[in-house]
Structure 1
Amino acid sequence: MHPFRQAVEARDSAAIEALLADDVVFTSPVAYKPYPGKAITAAILRGVMRVFEDFHYTREISGADGRDHVLMFRATVNGKQVHGCDFLHIDDDGLIDDLTVMVRPLSGANALAEAMGAQFERIQNEATGAASPSTA
């Protein structure tokens, strides 16, 4: 089992963050531009943990070289089913330097976009270390 999967299933945000390279790039299923950097990626993943309900991985696929991994999952967001995949690439130091998430169906992606949009001010504040009324 990949350590990222173990950390996510344990809902251990510190362990998740420790697995991210400083220059990690996160590509969201609901945003056009990727998010570069460990701080914003870790904050987004904490936000995802707040909005996903009944999250569980269903399958794990690893490339022959051990540097590429696909983790398939299911969850619920505001009553909508979400099926998705986390695509991980591991750098020379054993850290995740690329994380791309894809989800389906469209109704689940829309629910995720709405829920994450409601989280985004808090996510930005967490990433920059600023306090906000929702986290203070």
Structure 2
Amino acid sequence: MSTHSKYGDRRMEILADCVEEAARQAQEKGKGFESFEREGKVEYKALAETVLSMNTTDEAAELLKARGFLAPVMEIVTGRIKKVLEERFGLGTEVIVFSGASGILGMTGGAEDMAERLRELSGDPDAGNR
């Protein structure tokens, strides 16, 4: 499974789709995702379009964080990654998404526990903390 950009980089399209999915989920839960009008468009639609126009995922992450959308969007992103990996390889997995500029952007619910188990198995209490 190659995720290298030379095979088809769809990071911004995936992020934009996850913005819309997170908005739908929030609305279904009655939490309401900001949906005020901006330039005649519902906010999350305008946000998804802005993400599509960005050049880097770091830029998109900063925008999502500033708007309060990063956590719900990363929950969708990490969930999708986990699902693909588990279906493809038949193994239980956890996911941590990070950026060199921003650090950890999101993780699946069991990621911290799995990292702790791996540290214990390695015999090095600082493994993964370097």
TM, length-normalised to structure 2 = 0.30
Q: Which is richer in helix?
A: 2
The structure number with the bigger radius of gyration is: 2
Q: Which is richer in strand?
A: 1
The answer to which structure, 1 or 2, has the higher relative contact order (CA under 8 A, 6+ apart) is: 1
